[in-house]
Amino acid sequence: MYVYMLTNPNRTVLYTGVTNDLNRRLAEHGDTLGSGNKFTGRYQANLFVYFELCPDPK
């Protein structure tokens, strides 16, 4: 399980997410850029700033 953070070019928005496949999830965020109905698309939060590998919740 990964916890990750994205920000926008102006560094004024911070998005935090959780996923089990970081590469797939980042690609999905890239696909929504410019989309007004998704948070990362609306705020152009496409800059990857941090990730941490966490134990799987059971």
Distance CA 6, CA 28 (A): 13
Q: What is the pLDDT of residue 22?
A: 95
Q: What is the pLDDT of residue 2?
A: 95
Distance CA 5, CA 23 (A): 13
pTM for the complete prediction? 0.84
Q: What is the pLDDT of residue 34?
A: 67
Distance CA 9, CA 54 (A): 27
Regions of the chain short of the pLDDT cut 50: none
